[in-house]
Amino acid sequence: MQTATRIPALDSTLRPLASRDFDYWKAHHLLVRAGFGGTPEEVRSLAAMGLDDAVDHLVDYRSIPAEPVAADTFDKDIMRPATTQERQAARRARTRGDEAALERFRRDRQRRQQADRRQMRAFQRWWLRRLIETERPLEEKMTLFWHGHFATGYRTIEDSYHMFQQNQLLRAQAVGNFRALTHAIVRDPAMLRYLNNNQNRRRAPNENLARELME
């Protein structure tokens, strides 16, 4: 009869862990805290490094080769702003009451929105795969942490490439300087749109971004 493996209770104090006490289950706990857990083989490999080297391996992850992310991984132009010529054409169509032209503009907008939603789903799958397969788990865990801390959402932004850009920013600053991250995030296109700073005007200020930052 097979019995369940009993996981040892972890020391809940803040007493530093002695190197000699770093075993399989301590390595398992470390991998859960600094990542998303791991396979038994990954846990055994981490335990075999010893405490200090295991921590260095997870924290100093930039020495670990990673899959490069090209800027053109996703299409940046699906939800691009209308050109001057396109805006002028739409204005003329409204002035003339040209319903056929206006319908073409509406259908083009709908087509691009549908394409962008498909790309957003592709981006979500891409990131989920990174979360699962990464050799640098702390990088992805901190990217996810900052994604929750500086929260945004696609339903408001409606631009998958801006979400991808923000994801790249959070990854680049995952374990960096908080001041630098905060400085960058308030200039991030997704955050500017999410907190309505694209509506902020000198004669009609929108304080949403500033208020959220101060809070």
The rounded distance, in Å, linking the Cα atoms of 105 and 34 is 49
Asked whether residue 36 falls in the same domain as residue 79, the answer is no
Q: How confident is the model at residue 8 (pLDDT cuts 50, 70, 90)?
A: low
Tens digit of each residue's pLDDT (9 = 90 or more) over 65-119: 988 888 788 999 999 988 899 899 999 999 999 899 889 999 999 999 999 999 9
Closest Cα to residue 52, out of 22, 97, 72? 22
- Residue 101 forms part of a structural domain: yes
- Check whether residue 75 and residue 55 sit in a common domain: no
Same domain, 93 and 35: no
- For the stretch 109-146, pLDDT in tens is 999 999 999 999 999 999 999 999 999 999 999 999 99
* 196 and 105 together in one domain: yes
| pLDDT at residue 197, as a whole number | 92
Domain count within the chain? 2
pLDDT at residue 3, as a whole number: 53
| The residue count for the chain | 215
Return the structure tokens found at 107.
């259908």
CA distance 195 to 183: 15
Asked whether residue 13 is domain-assigned, the answer is no
Q: What is the pTM of this model?
A: 0.86
Q: How far apart are CA 202 and CA 68, in angstroms?
A: 41
Contact 160, 79 (CB under 8 A): yes
Q: Is residue 165 part of a domain?
A: yes
- Tell me, yes or no, whether 198 lies in a domain: yes
Burial class (CB in 10 A: 0-12, 13-18, 19+), 28: buried
Dihedral of CA atoms 110, 116, 117, 121 in degrees, nearest 10, equals 160
Provide the phi-psi class of 57: left if phi over 0, else alpha when psi is between -120 and 50, else beta: alpha
Are 91 and 43 members of one domain?
A: no
Supply the range of the domain harboring residue 134.
71-214
Whether 11 is in a domain gets the answer no
Pair (202, 101) in one structural domain: yes
In the chain, what percentage of residues exceed pLDDT 90?
Answer: 77
Q: Per-residue pLDDT tens for 43-65?
A: 999 999 999 999 999 999 999 99
